[in-house]
Structure 1
């Protein structure tokens, strides 16, 4: 059984005015990695998809994949293609509930944004994960 001590939040880096359904994510990752790199994906309507079994190592945070889970939300870019927190109310609600569930399963896990990891030079997930989810506990 894998020891999970990190939950990494990502965005799909897609424009908020263009759909990027779970099927597109799966296809994109299959082409890139041969499998889906994130464990969970949250679409704009707040639907949570488990896209990879938690016991399987993902491909979402180089150097941290063996000990982490990857959670991604659809969006992260505004209509002009600039990084922005584009989460809908439904996505925020779904992400909070998913993180509460994951912390119960993995009580030693820390929740971070992709950009919070050392040597990551991206805006992903385009909001301050540490501030927003600091209060999530079991």
Structure 2
């Protein structure tokens, strides 16, 4: 896999798995390897809030087509309701874990741009099924 390059972005994704379905990080990585030939995300956050490093942050992932250089990918398990429609299904533990992960990277990289997958130009997906900018605006500790 090619090197990531200087970290400038962190993109939040959902796995598009049904609400409440417990899917392991290694399962998501195996799906991505089958589809893209490599692990897509640097981190996967499971339902219980456990954060799994699935790709070193020195290597490029495969999570935002054509825009993966310098871009960390973080995926939470869930993101759709039981009928498959987009829904913010993050558990409180996942939300806390995501908040901590974003804060840690912002502390290391003060100019880091954090986006949802859907916020990238040309992306026609609901992923991550919530408004990242609004979420960040209501989390003052993440802006520090």
If the TM-score is normalised by the length of the shorter chain, which range does it land in? over 0.9
Match of 1:93 among 50, 71, 96: 96
What pairs with 1:12-51 in structure 2 (closer than 5 Å)?
12-51=15-54
Matching residue of 1:111? 114
Moved over 4 A (4+): none
Corresponding residue pairs, total: 138
2:75 is paired with a residue of what secondary structure?
A: strand
- C-alpha contact (below 8 Å) 2:8/2:111 kept by paired residues: yes
Unmatched segments (≥5 aa) in structure 2: none
Coordinate RMSD, CA, aligned: 1.3
TM-score, normalised with respect to structure 1:
0.95
8 A Cα contact 1:4 1:108, kept in partner: no
- How far off its partner does 1:27 sit? 1.1
Extract unaligned runs of 5+ from structure 1.
Answer: none
Please give the TM-score of this superposition, normalised by the length of structure 2.
0.91
